[in-house]
Structures are given as structure tokens and as C-alpha cells.
Chains A and B, each alone.
Chain A
Amino acid sequence: MGLWRNLFAGLRGLFGKRQAEKELEDELRDFLEKSAAEKMRAGMSREQARRAARLEMGGVEAVKENVRSASWETHFETLWSDLRFGARLLRFNPIFAGAAILSLALGIGANTAIFQLLDAVRLRTLPVKNPQEIARVVFDRRGSRSGNFSTRYPDFTDAIWEQIRANQEGFSGVYAWAPVQFNVSPAGEVHNVQGLFVSGEFFETLGVEPALGRLLSAADDQPACASAGAVLSYSYWQQEYGGRRDVLDRKVAINRHPVPIIGVAPRDFYGVEVGRSFDVAVPVCAEPLINGENSQLKSRIGWWLSVMGRLKPGWTVERASAQLRAISQRIFEAAMPPEYNASNAKSLLAAKLIAIPGGSGASDLRESYAQPLWLLLALAGLVLLIASANLANLMLARASVREKEMAMRMAVGAGRGRLIRQLLVESLLLAVIGAGFGALLARNLSQVLVTSMSTEQAPLFVALHTDWRVLGFTSALAIFTCVLFGLAPALRATSVSPGLALKEGGRGTTQGRTRFGLRRILVVSQIALSLTLLVGALLFARSLKNLATLDPGFRRDGILVADIDFTARHLPTEARRAFSDELLRRVRGIAGVDAAATAAIVPLSGDGIGHDILAGASGEAPDDVPVAAFNYVSPGYFETLKTPFLVGHDFDEHDRTGAPNVSIVNQAFVEKFAQGKNPLDFKFRVRRLMKTSAPYQIIGVVKDTKYSDLRENREVIVYTPQAQNEEAANDALILLRSSAPLAGILSAVKSTANEADPDADITFYNLHRMIDDGLLRDRLMARLSGFFGVLAVLLAVIGLYGVISYMVARRRNEIGIRMSLGADRRSIIALVLCESVLLLSIGLGCGVALALAASRAATSLLFGLKPHDPATLAMATVILAAIALAASYIPASRASKLDPVVALRNE
């Protein structure tokens, strides 16, 4: 009851302010009259009585004030008037306001942008029903499974998936899926879209409703695959088909097979992979149709599917995990590939299946980018701290200017708390405006970040929403920075004793020193923080340089890769090799092509082939067989890539099927298998699953090269002639080297290939660009940390400049006296620089300690240098010291040019 009454009375007071004020005034006046009347009855004169009554009350305004503060609505009123006052102050100090809002907007904007990205990548859950019930089935550790791994998440074979589906108990529904690329171009061209193979239960288990038509169900995923249809994503439907409803009558050509479109997924559904989106989804049963000869479905060594599911009510992830563990061996026995040899089988049977939480989907993006993003957030946070320190310094300077105003107000009765509240409201206003702009900025910044993280091969798709978490983050930042840069100055400003401050000429001796002490501490911490950021920036820049200038063992520039797929010709195996050779011959004949060769693997593309190596020409396999990386190449491969031979020579046309097995190996192979001996005498056999080859002879040793990743350790690589392979692929992967511009060569290759096969699908890669894309993350870290480092140094130096200038202004009298007593320019400059050097040394000292501690977080991201690299630390220290000293020199030299007479007359 009382609460409502209070509320209504308060609202009445807020909105009927004049009425309420008048009532109070009337009441008090009435009291005074009655009091005066009483005194007059006691014998005082009218004047005396009136005066006595007023004195007794103690001041009508003061009483009114006390009454007002007993009601809650006044707090709103004071807040409102504080805000208006603060806004007026900002309007009359536009430069200060502009600088403050700009630095806040940048700082808060950068932080929010990175947080938004982190939120989308790391923290958010899938846009499906009850994502906390979703779990993913995986192996409990990375075992040594053998076979063909063809997709981004090659967890299981189809046989294993079927077994899981049949034997699992903890899930109310499970599904399998695999992200792939589909060529949706009808013929001759290659137009790749993001494809998805899904099992029938996919959409139903996730609880997703169609936006148009229907979604795939279990009936669509039968072995016969009679009713196979395609589901489009909403964005693909809008993009490619203009959002027209007649899309349900059309078919989409997937790898030249027309598949009817049966529906469109809802707007915000992008699949179960964070950081990617799909365009077309088809059932798993359609895989043999689409992949043709390369179909993985029936192969028990084809690892390509990932499995997720929705837990039954009452089942936890741990319980489901335990059940999966228990049935693991049974599953693997049932799905055992016939091609496996004894040791393959043993390691498969030893593996265990478990369940892990899957509410945030699968994401290779998350794995590579989660740590860098957290690091970047920390860096951005430090920049915001430095900017806040600058703001605090600015506010402290203004606080000393407003000393008299504060003193006056306290002298007429304002409480200290009231003044502090008002000053904080001013800071809050700044912070809120800055945060508002920052939030707007963040939206663009995060989009820019996502774009810079995308490559053509792997386009990034991140659903950047400004959801409650992001807004909460921004608000928290705003309040935090407001307190950070507003509280200390507010406390300082109101700690004056009014008497002292109101006296004229109070230049503040002891008081000034303590206030100056706070500014010094701020500057020292700014220097320390910006040194840390600078060290970080230099570390990442050097790491990037190390990677970019790393010698991969082969030529990077001027190499074009053409993948000419002639599946449409339906050539039998024997004819394929001849056709490949023909294509290679033609490409070699193109003007401008210096050298060309074919290979099975393009180095640093991420693909790879691995087989067991059995030493010696005969003998049993030991228990632990070493594995080597393989590449099947044509003659001329090493010449094309400019990888030098150390011993021996290249393959030639005689090395074909029927001829003795020959191989070329790298230095690492020789060191591992044939130390001390002549490599040309070393024989070995290659075991692929069940089949062990005839002995191989080594005819050449080449320099070590990188195989699949620039950051890998030395790989043992074996090259064998493509002509000696039993199977032949339906495509020719041609690498060519040219000193002419690659664009021209590209079109020449295209026309040459089309002459030989008008229906061929040709995809081009620029090797240099491909390698650069692989360094995307490192480039991003270097660029952003560099940007933050520069910003931090700038802010810290501005802060230092401000403090030194203030110090000079404060000590003008002293400088004047010194000069008139005979000090020359140099000693004045030294005096000022001394202060600067003191601040710098303390700041740099703390900064080095902080940098050493903090840079450990970046260890895994750096290449070729340790986080405590002394050269980098020294470089950063020297750079910062030099810039800071240069900045301090300006006020120092200004001080030394002072006319002593003017300085002494200073007021």
C-alpha cells in the first residue's frame, strides 16, 4: 500500500512539479505566519516576530531542500538537471568534448567489434531448437586411422555412422553431415557453392522449419535415393533465385547431375558449422550420384561424415559418452574395413567413441581464431585503458580549473557527495555518447574484420547480431571507463577546502603536488601499457615476416596450378593417363610457360597422402611402422618448382608401369632411414593398408620442402612417378612456372584445355596467393596488433607531452629564477627532460615486466621467435623512449626560451 502511494505521490511530484512546489511554499509560509503570530502574542513587534520566526526555521530554501530530498522523485530531477548541465559544458568545450568522444568511440568501438566477433564464433549457440541438448560424437583422441579423409570434419565412415545410428541409446535423434563444395555450373565452367550432405534426420533433429516447400526427411535418405531433393539456404535462394516461389519447380545441377529443389531452409539457419554457411543441402544417399567415381559412401575406408544428435531428456553428455564408449568396440568390429591390415585393425579397435557438447556447432574457424580473437580483445582493452588514462588526465586538468567553482558550491552548502555525483554524471554523459558512437562504429568494424578473414577458397560467414550480450558488453565498458576516468578527478576536485581554494593566487603548493602525483602515475602506467602493446605488435610483425620469408624449398612466385577435370569424357582408366600426358604436353607448348608438370598434391594446399614405409627389400613389418608423406609426380616436377637435387636425377619416360619401382626422396627421409649409407643403395617397400609394394629404388634425393603447412616440422617425403600408379584420376593437376603475367597464361591454358576437351571443368589456383591465404591469421594478428600498438604509443606520448607541459607551466616561476641566476638554455632543457626521463624509466621498467608476463599468452601464435625475445623487447623500448623523449623535448625547449622577466612576473 505504502509503495503504491509513494509511487503515485512521486509521479505527481515529477509531472506536477509547479503545483507541488507551490503547495510546499504555502505550507511553509503558513507555518511562518503562525509562528510570527505566536511571538507577537508573546510581546514582540511585528518585525521582530517575523525575523525570529524566520531564524528559527533556518532558511526557507534549506528546509525546502530537505523536504525534497525526502522524496525519491527529486533524485530524478537532479539527475536530469545534472545531465543538462553536463551537456551544456560539452557544448561550450567542443574540442575537449570532441577529443574525448572520439577516443572513447574508437576504444569502445574496437573492443565491441572484436567482442561481437568472439561472441559469434565462440560464445553463441546454434540457431536451432534447444541447442543445449545437442551433442557431437567424436573419437576420444586423435588415433592413427588409415584411409581417405576427404572433408573438413572426416570423423567417420558411412559404415561406422550406420552402426552408431543403430546402436546408440542416449540420443532421441542422431544425424550425419559433411560440408563439401558443389559445382553447380551446367557444363564446362566451374561455379562452386558451399554444399552439405545431410542424413535424413538432420532437419528434424535440429527442429528446423522450412521457409518454403519442405525439408529433407528420413524418407528422402533411403539407399535407393529415389526421391533425392535439394534444400536451398535462405540466402542462396534470395541471391540466386531472387526469392521467387517458383524455385520449387526447378532443378539445381550438382556436379552436372540435376537434382530437384524441394524447399528452402529458414532465414537464420546456416547449418551446424560456425563461421560457414551452406548453399545447397542434399541427402547422404545422393553422394555416389554426385561424386561418381570418387564416392566415399560404400568405401569402408572413406572417412567423411560428422555425427551429432539431440540428447534424450534426462541424459547428460557424460552418460551418453559412457554408453558410446561401451559400444565402441562392437561398432568398429562391425564396420571394420576389409582393406585394413593387422596393425590398422588393432588401432581402430582400441579407439573409443565419446560425446561432447555440440550446442555451439563444429568449427574449424573457432579452433584457429578463438585464441587470436581473445588476444586481440585483450589488446583492444589495453588501448581503451590507455585512452581512459588520457581522458582522466584531461579531466584532472579541468578539475583544477574548476576548483573555484566547486569551492563556491560547497561553501553555499552543497554536500561533497552531491558534487561528486554531478561530476560523475558529466563523465557518464561523455561515456554514453562515446559508447553510442562506438557501438555504431563496431558494426562496421566487425564486418571489416570478417571480410579480412575471408578468402576466396574459404569464404567466411559470421552472423553478426547486436544481441543482448554485445549490448551488455558495450554498456559495461561505458560505465567502466566512466568510473575510470571520472571518479578520481571527481574525488580530487571536491577534496578542496573551500577557504584555501577561494583565496586569490592560490597556486597550490602541497595540494598541487599530490594532484600532480596522480597524473604522473597515470602517465607511467600509460607508458607501461603502451610498451606492452608495442612489444606485442613487433612480435607479431616479426613472426609474420618469418613466415612470409620462409624458404619452403620450392619456388613460390610465378607458379600457376590448373586442375583440369575431364570426368565428363568418361574415359577408362588406361586412357586417362594418356589424356593427362597429352594435356601436359600441350600446356608445356604454350608460349610463356617455362616449365610444367603434373602432381597428385599441390604443396601447401593442405592436402596430403601418407603411407607406411618398410625398410629393406623384404622382411616382416615391425609393430611400429613409420609413415612418410607421398606425392605422385610427373617428370619435370622438381624443375618446375625449382627444388634442387642433391644426389641423383629426375624421373623420365621410362619409369612407367611394368618398369622397376623408382622413387625420389628428400633429405629428411635419408636422415631417418638411410643415415650413413648411400641413399642410392637403400631399398624400401611401401605398404598401403593390405598391400605391400615391390621394393623401391631411390634414384634421387631432393632438398627438404614444406608439404602441407608452413609451420610444420621436417616432413619425410617420398615422390613416385604418376605413371607407375595403378589407378589414374579423372583430372590432371598441372603446375606450371612462368615469368609472364599469370592472367595471360591462365586464359591460354583455358583455351588449350578446351581444345582438347570442351567439356572439361578447370579450376585455377595461384600458388603464391594460396600460401598467402594460409598466412591470413598471422597477417591479421600482425596488422591489428600493429594498429593497436601505434595507437597506444600515440596516446601514451600525448599523455606524456601533456604532463611535461603541465609541469613546465607549474614551475615557470622556478625556471624564471634559475635563468635570471644564470642557468643557460641547456640546463633548463636538462631540468625538464630529467622529469621526463624519470617517468619514462619507471614506465619502461614496469612495461618490460608486464610485456614479459603478458606475451606468454601469444606463444602458440608466434613463429620463429620466443615471446621473451630480447631483441624485440629492446627494439620496442628504444622506439618508445625515442618518441617520448622527442615529444618531451618540445615543452623543454619552449621552457628554455622563456623570457625570465615574463616568467617571474607570472601570475
Chain B
Amino acid sequence: MTDTSATLVQGTLDMLILKTLALEPLHGWGISQRIQQLSRGVFEVNPGSLFPAFRRLERAGLLECEWQTSENNRRAKYYSLTKAGRQKLRSETKEWERQVAAIARILQTAS
């Protein structure tokens, strides 16, 4: 993801991470791949922004982590959503939908 407006991108990235973890716990690489998959290649998150986001969300109490054995038989850090994380995801999604609808309305009427 290229850096346009830092805060906007940060908020969106956080939401994407929360969403990808809504289904099942994943490790860092898994999350990166899932985001790429789900967005059909539009978003490619570079690890430089991903890992700080993990730390931030973890510290904010929205994620929790656990060390487990991963596919290639190594230890990997798995992230999962906390209850607060789920709540946040719900409220963020609602807010995002609200904003998107508003922008869509504006764009429709303008042209």
C-alpha cells in the first residue's frame, strides 16, 4: 500500500486486519496473503506497515496472540480477535458502510 494519507490508510489497514481474522486465527504471512486474496490483488500490504499494525492492535487490546506450530513445522505467532476486537470490527464496518454510501451519493448527484 502506498502512503497517501497516513491516518486514512492506517485506519483502513486496521480494519482489514480485523476482518481477515474474523474467520480464524492466522499468522503474519497468512494475514498478508489473505488480504491479497480477498481484495483480488488490489491491496498488497508490505510487511513494514503490517507488523507495526499488529503491535498497535495488540496493545489496544483488539488482538491477542499465541505461539503455535505452523505449516512448515516452525513456531509462528498466531493472531486472533478478542471480544473487543470483534466489537470494533462491527462498529468500524458500520461506519465504513455509512461513509461509502455518503460518498457514493455525492458522486452520483455531482455528475
Could you tell me if A67 and B60 are in contact, using CB atoms closer than 8 angstroms? no
With A34-B29, A34-B72, A37-B72 known to touch, is A57 a contact of B56 (CB < 8 Å)? no
CB 8 Å contact bits of A36-64 with B (1 = contact, 0 = none): 01100000000000000000111100110
Could you tell me if B72 and A5 are in contact, using CB atoms closer than 8 angstroms? no
**Distance from A55 Cβ to chain B, minimum over Cβ atoms (Å):** 10
Could you tell me if B60 and A27 are in contact, using CB atoms closer than 8 angstroms? no
Could you tell me if A5 and B52 are in contact, using CB atoms closer than 8 angstroms? no
Does B40 count as interface, using CB distance less than 8 angstroms? no
CA distance A58 to B56 in the complex (A): 20
Does A6 count as interface, using CB distance less than 8 angstroms? yes
With A27-B76, A63-B48 known to touch, is A70 a contact of B28 (CB < 8 Å)? no
Listed residue (A34, A57, A59) with the most chain B CB atoms within 10 angstroms of its CB: A34
Could you tell me if A70 and B48 are in contact, using CB atoms closer than 8 angstroms? no
Could you tell me if A58 and B48 are in contact, using CB atoms closer than 8 angstroms? yes
**Distance from A176 Cβ to chain B, minimum over Cβ atoms (Å):** 66
Could you tell me if B52 and A67 are in contact, using CB atoms closer than 8 angstroms? yes
Could you tell me if B51 and A67 are in contact, using CB atoms closer than 8 angstroms? yes
CA distance A2 to B61 in the complex (A): 4
CA distance A5 to B49 in the complex (A): 22
Could you tell me if A2 and B27 are in contact, using CB atoms closer than 8 angstroms? no
With A23-B77, A31-B29, A37-B72 known to touch, is A70 a contact of B47 (CB < 8 Å)? no
Could you tell me if B52 and A6 are in contact, using CB atoms closer than 8 angstroms? no
Which residue of chain A lies nearest to B31 when distances are taken between CB atoms in the complex?
A: A31
Does A28 count as interface, using CB distance less than 8 angstroms? yes
With A2-B61, A9-B58 known to touch, is A63 a contact of B28 (CB < 8 Å)? no
Could you tell me if B28 and A66 are in contact, using CB atoms closer than 8 angstroms? no
Does A1 count as interface, using CB distance less than 8 angstroms? yes
Does A30 count as interface, using CB distance less than 8 angstroms? yes
Does B74 count as interface, using CB distance less than 8 angstroms? yes
Which residue of chain A lies nearest to B51 when distances are taken between CB atoms in the complex?
A: A67
CA distance A37 to B74 in the complex (A): 13
Listed residue (A2, A23, A38) with the most chain B CB atoms within 10 angstroms of its CB: A2
Could you tell me if B84 and A33 are in contact, using CB atoms closer than 8 angstroms? no
Could you tell me if B52 and A69 are in contact, using CB atoms closer than 8 angstroms? yes
CA distance A67 to B84 in the complex (A): 22
Does B98 count as interface, using CB distance less than 8 angstroms? no
**Distance from A59 Cβ to chain B, minimum over Cβ atoms (Å):** 8
Which residue of chain B lies nearest to A2 when distances are taken between CB atoms in the complex?
A: B61
Could you tell me if B58 and A30 are in contact, using CB atoms closer than 8 angstroms? no
Contacts of B46 in A (CB 8 A): 56-58
Could you tell me if B28 and A27 are in contact, using CB atoms closer than 8 angstroms? yes
CB 8 Å contact bits of B59-102 with A (1 = contact, 0 = none): 11110000100101011110000001000000000000000000
Contacts of A657 in B (CB 8 A): none
Could you tell me if B74 and A27 are in contact, using CB atoms closer than 8 angstroms? no
With A31-B28, A57-B48 known to touch, is A71 a contact of B77 (CB < 8 Å)? no
Which residue of chain A lies nearest to B53 when distances are taken between CB atoms in the complex?
A: A70
Contacts of A27 in B (CB 8 A): 28, 51, 76-77
CA distance A71 to B58 in the complex (A): 10
Contacts of B62 in A (CB 8 A): 2
Does A835 count as interface, using CB distance less than 8 angstroms? no
With A2-B60, A9-B58 known to touch, is A26 a contact of B75 (CB < 8 Å)? yes
CA distance A6 to B61 in the complex (A): 7
Contacts of A67 in B (CB 8 A): 51-52, 54-55
Does A805 count as interface, using CB distance less than 8 angstroms? no
CA distance A781 to B14 in the complex (A): 66
Contacts of B67 in A (CB 8 A): 23
Could you tell me if B47 and A30 are in contact, using CB atoms closer than 8 angstroms? no
With A57-B48, A63-B51, A70-B55 known to touch, is A30 a contact of B27 (CB < 8 Å)? yes
Which residue of chain B lies nearest to A3 when distances are taken between CB atoms in the complex?
A: B61
Contacts of A70 in B (CB 8 A): 52-53, 55-56, 59
With A5-B61, A9-B58 known to touch, is A28 a contact of B51 (CB < 8 Å)? yes
**Distance from B50 Cβ to chain A, minimum over Cβ atoms (Å):** 9
With A2-B61, A57-B47, A58-B48 known to touch, is A30 a contact of B28 (CB < 8 Å)? yes
**Distance from B80 Cβ to chain A, minimum over Cβ atoms (Å):** 14
Which residue of chain A lies nearest to B75 when distances are taken between CB atoms in the complex?
A: A26
Could you tell me if A31 and B47 are in contact, using CB atoms closer than 8 angstroms? yes
Does A163 count as interface, using CB distance less than 8 angstroms? no
CA distance A34 to B29 in the complex (A): 7
CA distance A30 to B47 in the complex (A): 12
Which residue of chain B lies nearest to A4 when distances are taken between CB atoms in the complex?
A: B61
Which residue of chain A lies nearest to B83 when distances are taken between CB atoms in the complex?
A: A1
CA distance A9 to B63 in the complex (A): 13
Contacts of A9 in B (CB 8 A): 58-59
CA distance A384 to B50 in the complex (A): 50
Contacts of B47 in A (CB 8 A): 28, 31, 35, 56-58, 63
Contacts of B58 in A (CB 8 A): 9
Contacts of B56 in A (CB 8 A): 70
Listed residue (B49, B58, B70) with the most chain A CB atoms within 10 angstroms of its CB: B58
Contacts of B29 in A (CB 8 A): 30-31, 34-35
With A37-B72, A57-B47, A63-B51 known to touch, is A1 a contact of B84 (CB < 8 Å)? yes
**Distance from A54 Cβ to chain B, minimum over Cβ atoms (Å):** 10
Could you tell me if B28 and A6 are in contact, using CB atoms closer than 8 angstroms? no
Contacts of B59 in A (CB 8 A): 2, 5-6, 9-10, 70-72
Contacts of B61 in A (CB 8 A): 1-3, 5-6
Could you tell me if B72 and A66 are in contact, using CB atoms closer than 8 angstroms? no
Contacts of A62 in B (CB 8 A): 48
Contacts of A10 in B (CB 8 A): 59
Listed residue (B54, B59, B61) with the most chain A CB atoms within 10 angstroms of its CB: B59
CA distance A9 to B55 in the complex (A): 10
**Using a CB-CB cutoff of 8 Å, which residues 1-23 of chain A contact chain B?**
1-3, 5-6, 9-10, 23
Contacts of B33 in A (CB 8 A): 38
CA distance A482 to B11 in the complex (A): 38
Contacts of B32 in A (CB 8 A): 31
Contacts of A57 in B (CB 8 A): 46-48
Listed residue (A31, A37, A57, A59) with the most chain B CB atoms within 10 angstroms of its CB: A31
Which residue of chain A lies nearest to B28 when distances are taken between CB atoms in the complex?
A: A31
With A27-B76, A30-B70, A30-B74 known to touch, is A66 a contact of B60 (CB < 8 Å)? no
CA distance A34 to B27 in the complex (A): 11
Contacts of B75 in A (CB 8 A): 26, 30
With A2-B60, A71-B55 known to touch, is A30 a contact of B48 (CB < 8 Å)? no
Which residue of chain B lies nearest to A29 when distances are taken between CB atoms in the complex?
A: B74
CB 8 Å contact bits of B13-53 with A (1 = contact, 0 = none): 00000000000000111001100000000000011110111
Other 5 A-B pairs with CB < 8 A, given A31-B28, A63-B47: A2-B61, A26-B77, A30-B29, A67-B51, A71-B59
Q: List 18 A-B contacts (CB under 8 A).
A: A1-B61, A3-B61, A10-B59, A28-B51, A30-B27, A31-B32, A34-B29, A35-B47, A57-B47, A57-B48, A62-B48, A63-B51, A66-B51, A67-B52, A70-B53, A70-B56, A70-B59, A72-B59
The 4 closest A-B pairs by CB, nearest first: A2-B61, A34-B29, A70-B55, A66-B52
